[in-house]
Structure 1
Amino acid sequence: MLRRTAVLVAGVFLVAGCSSGQQAAQNRQGQAGFVSGNGNVSVFAAADRKTAPELTGKTLDDKTWTLSEQKGKVVVLNVWGSWCPPCRKEAPELVAAAKELGPSVQFVGLNTRDLDPAPAKKFVQEFGVQYPNVYDPNGRALLRFRGQISPAAIPTTLVIDKFGKVAGRVVGEVTKQTLLGMVAEAK
């Protein structure tokens, strides 16, 4: 029985991804409840798409950003935290996709659970992120997406069509190629 319990506990740590040993240190900084996704991609037919909730907030450079002002453009919304290893791994992919797609597609980050904006600003600078990033330290903006984004699954990326409806979702790390395909499907 003891051996089965040890195997079960070991399996939980393997499945939990970023909520393993590094997570314990992160929990002390306020990032409790983080679970990395598995990269599962969902694409929704136009008839099955649900409207994205309103997202308005201050960006890391202290400007106001509003999702509803983006109607007519495809929007790629990436939920991330500077403390999240998969977010760091996917950042160059997002930057490359944003560069390739250009201004016809609006990329926006939703930075969550960075209680101090300094690490988030450093992340943006380190990876050369040029698109806006809404600062959401307490996760309130993220909670508006309940049912579309699990508040615990970081990173998650949504592709929102030009009508403001969720056309696709990646729970976990996203690649440039996946984003390019999802955006093409959303147009």
Structure 2
Amino acid sequence: MRAKSISLVLLAVLVAGCAGNQSGQPQAGDTRFVAGDGKMQVFGAGERKAAPAVEGPTLDGATASLAAHKGKVVVLNFWASWCGPCRAEAPVLKEVAAKTKGSGVEFLGVDFKDRQADALAFERTEQTGYPHLFDQPGKVALAFQGTVPPAAIPSTLIIDKQGRIAARALGAVKYTDLMDTVTKVRDE
């Protein structure tokens, strides 16, 4: 009986911990994300779905869109400053973006359900070298529903030259997996 009572108390604490705070805004150390292994899942040319139209304000006040990169491969990365795995993968994304820049590959970040000040601080620290949409309400992520679970961050999509989703990774990406997949999609 005592073990059952302890189990129920632990379950209640676990459920309460997943609910987040009352404001709905993630706090530092928040771990509400969908875990993934970061492995790239590549879709065959016949299986690829068109990427939805994506456009919005960037962290620095400009506007960015997928349409602006038509005819190029686009790496679209969903992240948030409060997400530990997002922080861990940032150097990988920065390095692959730098090495593929000018070869028909563009990177676009999507800062998801974050405070703009926190996201700007993250970007100042990481200096990724590519623009980031500020998607506090999560509308961009919802546009990809069916391909990326809306709470799956970090997530990375590779959009081919025809504007179709060629690959995805749920979880923090690894350098070799990302570089190999970007190169493969770029060279198609």
Q: How does 1:64-143 map to 2 (within 5 A)?
A: 64-103=63-102, 104-114=104-114, 116-143=115-142
Alignment check: 8 A CA contact 1:42 1:169 kept: yes
Cα drift, residue 152 of structure 1:
1.1
Q: Secondary structure at the match of 1:100?
A: helix
Query: How much does 1:89 deviate?
Result: 0.4
Q: Give unmatched runs, 5+ long, in structure 2.
A: none
Give the TM-score normalised by the residue count of structure 2: 0.84
8 Å Cα contact 2:31/2:84 also seen in 1: no
Query: For the Cα contact (< 8 Å) 2:78–2:111, is it kept in 1?
Result: yes
SS of residue paired to 1:77? strand
* 8 Å contact from structure 1 (residues 60, 133) kept in 2: yes
In the TM superposition, what whole-angstrom CA distance separates every residue of 1:23-77 from its partner, at most 9, and x where no partner exists?
6767755139932322243110111111110100010111111101211110000
Structure-1 separation of matches of 2:139 and 2:90:
23
Deviations 1:100-147 (A, max 9, x none): 111321000000101x31100010111111100000101112111111
- Specify the alignment match of 1:51 in structure 2: 50
1:2-17 matches, within 5 Å, as: 2=3, 6=7
Residues 88, 106 of structure 1: CA spacing in aligned structure 2 closer, same or farther, 3 A cutoff?
same
What is the match of residue 36 of structure 2?
38
Q: Secondary structure at the match of 1:159?
A: strand
TM-score, scaled relative to structure 1: 0.84
CA distance in 1, matches of 2:89, 2:54: 23
Worse-superposed segment, 51-60 or 95-104: 95-104
Name the larger-Rg structure: 2
The answer to whether the 8 A contact 1:70-1:106 is kept is yes
Task: Tell me, in whole angstroms, the C-alpha distance in 1 between the residues paired with 2:136 and 2:94.
Answer: 22
Distance 1:170 1:20 in 2: 29
Figure out how many residues of one structure are paired with residues of the other and give that number: 177
Question: 2:40, 2:178 within 8 Å by CA — same for their partners in 1?
Answer: no
- Cα RMSD, aligned residues only: 2.7
